[in-house]
Amino acid sequence: LAGSIGEMSRYTLSKFYRNIDPKLTRIFIVEAAERILGTFAPELSSKATRELEKLGVQVWTSSMVSDVDADGVQIGRERIEAATVLWAAGIKASDLGRMMGVETDRSDRIVVENDLSLPGHPEVFAGGDQACFMLENGATLPGIAPVAMQEGNAIGKTILNDIKGKPRKPFKYRDKGQMATIGRNKAIVEIGNLKINGAFAWFTWLLVHIYYLSTFRHRVFVLMQWAWSYFTFGYGARLIVNRDWRIYREKKQGCDDDSSS
Ligand SMILES: Cc1cc2nc3c(=O)[nH]c(=O)nc-3n(C[C@H](O)[C@H](O)[C@H](O)COP(=O)(O)OP(=O)(O)OC[C@H]3O[C@@H](n4cnc5c(N)ncnc54)[C@H](O)[C@@H]3O)c2cc1C
């Protein structure tokens, strides 16, 4: 996200304003942990940090956000003045689990059995972002696409086995590695002991994501869209078609009718 904003301000928007210079946009990542992309090997994490810095992103690690208000972000005694703050610290499952009165974790994910069924309800399953699958070491599987895809497949197979009268098998997650894009021609990929970064990693990321799309038509369509964005530097990003996010401050008493944000 920070990489995309960096690229957007430095390449996509840079030529289109006379009175402001989008290249002067200040972008910060504020991360509570010691390094960003903490699930990756430390060397990939530092390569990603260097790449982000080249895009003008300042990476603040070991920095816990203590407050966010309309004018900025407080990090302990430090403050960053900001009109735009994007909060990306985790996701929450839908309210469905809590509505059903079943056991959920702190992200409202339903705690499931080892065959992904609900405790006491072998006929009901939860998978993907909605499920909290506990590993033997006490950790839980993260809310990412490979987990959702493998859990969906496993649930399908379990239902087929039930119909055929075969016994259920416990779900086993196969970690196929992890990837993250940082920007144009910039990514990091970790598959077992293999650690790559730069353009080759970015190309691998692209191929894997295209491969996992559901139909040939989707693959071709997405590939064409991405190629268009790549060669045009995503100029479509200049258009803001939905303005619901815009915050209008309340008018101060005694001020005239200036309602700009
Ligand atoms: C911004 C963002 C970036 C991400 N990037 C990555 C990434 O790079 N790599 C990665 O591995 N993962 C990524 N993820 C996580 C990944 O998208 C999810 O883990 C994955 O999509 C989960 O799949 P799912 O089928 O469980 O849920 P979803 O894909 O969210 O599908 C759930 C569906 O259920 C529908 N639904 C919700 N409530 C109801 C209801 N009450 N009744 C009926 N339907 C309902 C929703 O509309 C939705 O279509 C990202 C997620 C986000 C938000």
2-89+176-238 against 96-164: fold identical: yes
- Paired residues of 125 in beta bridges: 117
CA angle 180, 38, 62 (to 5 degrees): 125
Identify the DSSP state of 81. E
Identify the DSSP state of 187. E
Residue nearest to atom 35 of ligand 1 (CA): 94
Report domain extents, the chain. Answer: 2-89+176-238, 96-164
Is residue 208 in contact with ligand 1, taking CB distance under 6 Å?
Answer: no
Taking the domain 96-164, which CATH number applies? 3.50.50.60
C-alpha to C-alpha distance for 54 and 13, rounded to whole angstroms? 17
Nearest to 181 by CA among 219, 207, 159, 214: 207
The preferred substitution site among 107, 110, 130, 144 for testing ligand 1, maximizing ligand atoms within 8 Å of CB, is 144
Taking the domain 2-89+176-238, which CATH number applies? 3.50.50.100
DSSP reduced 3-state for 153: helix
Query: What's the confidence (pLDDT) of residue 258?
Result: 42
Here the ipTM equals 0.95
Ligand 1 atom closest to Cα of residue 144: 19
d(CA 129, ligand 1 centre) in Å: 6
C-alpha to C-alpha distance for 160 and 258, rounded to whole angstroms? 64
Which helix (H) or strand (E) is 179 found in, with range?
A: strand 178-183
Query: What's the confidence (pLDDT) of residue 255?
Result: 45
d(CA 202, ligand 1 centre) in Å: 23
C-alpha to C-alpha distance for 212 and 181, rounded to whole angstroms? 16
- Paired residues of 80 in beta bridges: 73
Query: What's the confidence (pLDDT) of residue 244?
Result: 63
Place of tokens 């197979």: 157
Ligand 1 atom closest to Cα of residue 146: 11
Sheet holding 186-191, edge to edge: 178-183, 186-191, 194-197
Is residue 108 in contact with ligand 1, taking CB distance under 6 Å?
Answer: no
Give 10-residue mean pLDDT values along the chain (261 residues): 88 79 89 94 96 94 95 94 90 89 94 97 96 93 92 98 96 93 93 94 94 93 90 69 60 46 37
Query: What's the confidence (pLDDT) of residue 260?
Result: 39
Number of neighbouring beta carbons within 10 Å of residue 40:
21
Is residue 152 within 8 A of residue 127, CB to CB? The reply is: yes
C-alpha to C-alpha distance for 3 and 237, rounded to whole angstroms? 14
Is residue 227 in contact with ligand 1, taking CB distance under 6 Å?
Answer: no
Alpha-carbon radius of gyration of the chain: 23
Identify the DSSP state of 9. I
- Rounded to the nearest 10 degrees, the angle between the axes of helix 216-232 and helix 199-211 is 150
Place of tokens 């790549």: 230
Is residue 129 in contact with ligand 1, taking CB distance under 6 Å?
Answer: yes
What are the E-state strand segments in the chain? 27-30, 57-60, 67-69, 72-75, 78-81, 110-111, 117-118, 121-125, 131-132, 178-183, 186-191, 194-197
